[in-house]
Amino acid sequence: MSGLAERVGLNWFSLLVGKLAFEDAPLPYPATLPEVRQRLGSLGKKKLDDALEYCNGLLEREEKRLDKVESKAFTLIGITGIAAGFITGFAGLFLDRDKITSLWALIPAAILYILVVISSMLTIFLAIKVVTVGDYRFTYPKATDIFDLSRVSLEAVRRERAASLFYSFAQNCRVVNRKATFLSGAQLWFRNSIILLLILTFFLAIPAFFMPTATSGVSTPTVGATTTVQPATKTSDTPQPAATPTIAVQPVTTVTDAPQPSLAPSNLVLTDTPTTSP
């Protein structure tokens, strides 16, 4: 059961209450300065040169590994932040009751949505633990070791420098391993959030194939014989007012007996009037 919890990532919830979900693995080489000094022993000049070069390479290797781990953590934070904007878009589907009309479909969808949000938040939380400044202490050779040249021999200084370089490498390796463990947890929960998001998407998309499609208001023209139906005249039950006869008053023409002038030649007398010529 514990193995299943680790594969799913449930053990990382203990980190939310301040308890680490893992224990630092013991290093396969000396991790304290007295042990390193003892293992180096009395090396000659040529062997000390090889030891210094080798220890410098080990320390540089851990610094490069640290850069890669932190770079992946920053990338994961950015990707999860973009995905969070996509995840918040699903909240509108739960408010639209036309998309999810059944309560039995709404409850599982809401649970899946909450799990996706929790997975994304835990991904960002673990990724931030990788790049948090101040929670980790790195070790490097002391800058004051150069002043020991005036008190001891050069060979002793070089031997002490080799021991200091190897001890710094061992301590930094432990710190980088812890950062890498947090990164693996962030990647695990990012995987969980993607899987849950895909399940939620299919859960919301599959019912759309079984829903009847709504017909649009635009009619499709058909070719063929058509029958024209004349609209019937609807008779109203409202009683119509009866027609009332109207009496028009015509003006009266008065006929008078006054004689009218006549142009007929009745009593006209024509006389021959002599004209006087000048």
Q: For each of the chain's 278 residues, which pLDDT tens digit applies? A: 667 777 888 888 887 777 777 777 788 888 788 888 888 877 777 888 888 999 999 999 999 999 999 999 999 999 998 888 777 776 665 555 555 556 566 788 788 888 999 999 999 999 999 998 877 888 888 877 777 767 777 788 888 888 899 999 999 999 999 999 999 999 999 999 999 988 888 877 766 565 555 444 444 454 444 444 455 444 445 455 544 444 444 554 444 444 544 444 444 444 444 444 43
Q: Are the CB atoms for 189 and 9 separated by under 8 Å?
A: yes
Q: How many helices (H) and strands (E) does the chain have?
A: 6, 0
Query: pTM of this prediction?
Result: 0.68
So what's the pLDDT on residue 214?
Answer: 46
Instruction: Tell me if residue 8 falls in helix, strand or coil.
Output: helix
Structure confidence at residue 10 (pLDDT): 81
Check: CB of residue 142 under 8 Å from CB of residue 164: yes
Strand extents, DSSP E, 233-275: none
CA distance 253 to 270: 41
Q: What is the pLDDT of residue 12?
A: 82
| Residue 31 exposure: Cα atoms within 13 Å on the Cβ side | 10
What are 209's two structure tokens?
């194939």
Provide φ and ψ at 189, rounded to 5°: -75, -25
pLDDT, residue 273, reads 43
pLDDT of 48 reads 87
pLDDT at 54: 92
* pLDDT for the residue numbered 226: 44
Instruction: Report how far residue 250's alpha carbon sits from residue 235's, in angstroms, rounded to the nearest whole number.
Output: 39
pLDDT of residue 246: 47
Whole-angstrom Cα distance, residue 70 to residue 132?
Answer: 10
Phi, psi values for residue 58, rounded to 5°: -65, -45
Q: What backbone torsions phi and psi does residue 37 show, to the nearest 5 degrees?
A: -65, -40
| Burial of 235 from C-beta contacts in 10 A (0-12 / 13-18 / 19+) | exposed
Q: Please give the pLDDT value at position 90.
A: 66
Contacts of 163 (CB under 8 A, 6+ apart): 33, 36, 37, 40
* Closest C-alpha among 153, 184, 173 to residue 76: 184
Among the listed residues 57, 30, 23, 69, the one whose alpha carbon sits nearest the alpha carbon of residue 176: 69
